Chain A
Amino acid sequence: MNGRHAAPTPDPGHGTDDGSDPGKAPEDHAGFVAVSVRLTGFDEFDLRATGLVRLYHDTTLDQVGRPAVGRFLADLDAAGGDPDRITDETSRDIARAITHLWYLGVWPQLARSTHAALRRERANTAFVVSPEAYTEGLVWRTFHGHPPGAKPPGHGTWAAAPPGAPVRPVARRTEGAA
């Protein structure tokens, strides 16, 4: 995950932090970010802009342990970097959990079988990892929304057509009205 801990990454060119460009500081947790890009469908810029890379990286390690993360990364590597082709159910459940975390800020309950396979000694409960994790959830951005209670778009903005919708409502029942 963190480059220093050197698990295989699905996309070494993108995911190392060896600082090969002398003009550029090494990126933190480059491997975790590269994996997260694959899992979420959001690019590195979006993910880093949340400010939560480190917290999510640490939460994942904390929740499932380094060996399981290592196996997950190896499985993802073996799947050609495509999470959809991971066949190991434990690794797949870790992929679900990390994605859930990014989209909602919530570490989810793992499948009971995963929980048992990992011999976790903590309770298998869902939790919001921090207040900011909620407000930075990616799910809101999938439809140009914002998290309720944060990032308000301004008075009356709810009256405007969302992106992709006709500015004036389109008739369904009758034609040519208004």
Chain B
Amino acid sequence: MSAGPAGRDARRHDVIVVGAGMAGSLLAKQLGDQGWRVLVLEAGTRTLDTWPGYLDALDTYYAATAKVPNAPYRPNAAAPSPSVLDLEGLPAGGYRAHGYFLQNGPLPYSSDYLRATGGTAMHWMGIVPRMHPEDFAVRRRYGYGRDWPIGYDDLEPHYRAAERALGVAGDADEQREGAGLPFPPGYVYPMRAIPRSYLDAVLAHRLDGAAVRERPDGPDTVLRVVATPHARNGTPDPRYDGGRGHRPAGAAGLPNYGERCVGNASCVPICPVQAKYNPLKTQATWSPRVTLVDRAVVSRVLTAANGRVRGVEYQRYDDPATPAHTTRTAEADIVVLAAHAIENARLLLVSRLAGSSGQVGRNLMDHPMLLTWGLMDQQVGPFRGPGSTSGLESFRTGPARGTRAPFRIEIGNWGWSWPAGSPGTDVARLLGIDADTGRPRGRGVFGKKLRESLGRDLGRQFSLQFAFEQEAESRNRVTIDPSHRDPLGNPRPVLTYDLSEHVKRGMAAARTVSDQIFRLLGAEDRTGYAPGPLAPGWFRHDGRDYVFNGAGHGGGTHIMGTTARTSVVDQWQRCWDHPNLYAVGCGSMPSMGTSNPSLTMAALALRSGERIHRDLRELKGPATVGRQQGGRP
């Protein structure tokens, strides 16, 4: 398989990072700044980091019939990405999976990711709440899932470092009081809070201080609308960093261009002005010691004697449409997999590495999402601003976690676009157009009547998005099957996925809470869950129907723990079996709590960077350290 001397990368690197997404880009930045020579291998293309390439993605999004998270980004046969469009619900329940993933679980894994420079963070929402301290010890405290080998306090400085690197706008005091998160005294985020939406204000006015019950005989939970921290340019806070303030990062690919969030309301799938953080911004600040090679699909990790790894084998291709490739190898002292939870697991499985615990690929998790939606009794200004600017944080922790999964409630600013495909579906419905072309069509309304009807109802749409913690379960897993390969011959991921009773009970509680919230709001509930082609996540639990969605928060596949017997990586995200092989990303997380995981992933990556720096100094000795210092800009 190896290409021999001709295919070998002539320069030796200190570190190889596999994947130019958020974790990989942050790590490469940190290590490059410390003087190390870093090779970043990206499976996808590098068209997004020029401004014309970025605008092309925006046009592709405009022209896409289904405006799903991967819609702006060109398909790539050499490095395929999963799409949420790959899943199809069946008429009486159940699902069929097309596309990159093979799926054989009772329920579908419904999330995508993106293989391109910048990775999935090109289409992330940019919401960055910290995890709650209790999320790190769910087994010890609540008797389910798995515990982290470290706690909130260990990660806290790295949370601050990540908030700096991503440029977070938020209100730390409100996070402390409203979400129960501890911050160091006097801490402020780099930027002031992003303004909350008018919808948030309406909900706060009607909900703040009200109590709901998950069961008629259960305890009261008091509601409070709390603004969400964002990795999105707002107004820098002059108090940040001891009064030194913060300078926001502009757009990558266009010099001297960058803005505060101007309300394009398309964070997912693409921010036209790059007010939202994306890893291209970090890449733009890499030291010259960091080399990015795109269209380089790592096919396996190469081992040395003694349990160490020596580098990677990768497939270099020119044209993503016709994937012919040459095989090359690259060597380094340390290899870091940062290719997404599922891709990291796939690479470890293909390379037959890190397997002594039997946990590689297991504990696959996501944030299963339950959406509820309705009409307010007044115009609320939907489809404006970031996708969510506030949430209800009261269900994220507490004793109820012992019996049901905790959840965070995002207030959805974009009407029913996610739950019901609005406004396209509303237009079609009013015109009498059924998605099933074989059915007789309704008469339809036209002209002023159509215009007025849409104006009256679209402007009152809102949704609640319940994100559930999904605990680590070894049965939820990524495997590979040599008989199913992608066009370059790499085995495709085979997923087995389900929701536990714990999660389903969380959804039942959430539905009860949602019903009470709609009553408190005086809103008309239009939520409906039925099987069908657009509902691959339909299931019935305790006599009620549900449809869940994926959040794009894949994790758990190279889980972190305290021993080599039970986990894949140690607290530094270093493989127990291979002292110079790291697997970083959400795949390391033993639990994800109810927080959107990217901030925690970034904090973990920066923490690992410190460890890798120490490893390299130990490996290379003081002479190397001296050379690096000389090489610093």
Contacts and interface: CB of A to CB of B under 8 A. Distances in A.
B63 A155 contact: no
Nearest to A156: B195
A93 interface: yes
Contact of A145 (B67, B261, B382): B382
Contacts of B389: 158
Contacts of B452: 41, 142
Interface stretch (B393-401, B424-432, B555-563): B424-432
A140 B266 CA distance: 14
Interface string A134-178: 110011101111101110111111111111111001111100011
B263 A169 contact: no
Interface string B415-443: 00100000110111001110001101101
Contact of B272 (A109, A152, A173): A152
Given A152-B264, A171-B206, A165 B414 contact: no
B63 A110 contact: no
B260 A142 contact: no
A41 B206 contact: no
Contact of B201 (A40, A131, A142, A169): A169
B202 interface: yes
Contacts of A157: 263, 384-385
A139 to B, nearest CB: 5
Nearest to A172: B522
Contacts of A177: 205
Contacts of A99: 431, 444, 446, 450
A173 B223 CA distance: 13
B61 interface: yes
A84 interface: yes
A163 B455 CA distance: 11
A149 B431 contact: no
Nearest to A171: B205
A2 interface: no
A19 to B, nearest CB: 28
A68 B431 CA distance: 19
B383 interface: yes
By DSSP majority rule, is chain B's interface helix, strand, loop, or mixed?
Answer: loop
A161 B522 CA distance: 19
A111 B441 contact: yes
Contact of A134 (B63, B201, B206, B441): B63
B445 interface: yes
A83 B62 contact: no
A144 to B, nearest CB: 7
B379 A163 contact: yes
A33 interface: no
A81 B100 CA distance: 51
Interface in A94-146: 95-96, 99-100, 103-104, 106, 108-112, 115, 124, 126-128, 130-132, 134-135, 138-140, 142-146
B377 interface: yes
Contacts of A128: 62-65
B436 to A, nearest CB: 9
Interface of B: 58-59, 61-65, 67, 195-198, 201-202, 204-207, 210, 234, 259-266, 270, 272-273, 377-386, 389, 413-414, 417, 423-424, 426-428, 431-433, 437-438, 440-441, 443-452, 454-455, 458-459, 520-522
Closest 5 CB pairs of A and B: A158-B385, A162-B381, A131-B62, A149-B266, A41-B451
27 contacts: A41-B447, A42-B451, A84-B445, A95-B444, A96-B431, A99-B431, A108-B428, A111-B440, A128-B63, A138-B451, A139-B427, A142-B455, A144-B381, A148-B264, A149-B58, A149-B265, A152-B264, A152-B272, A154-B262, A155-B260, A157-B384, A158-B265, A158-B386, A162-B198, A165-B198, A170-B378, A173-B206
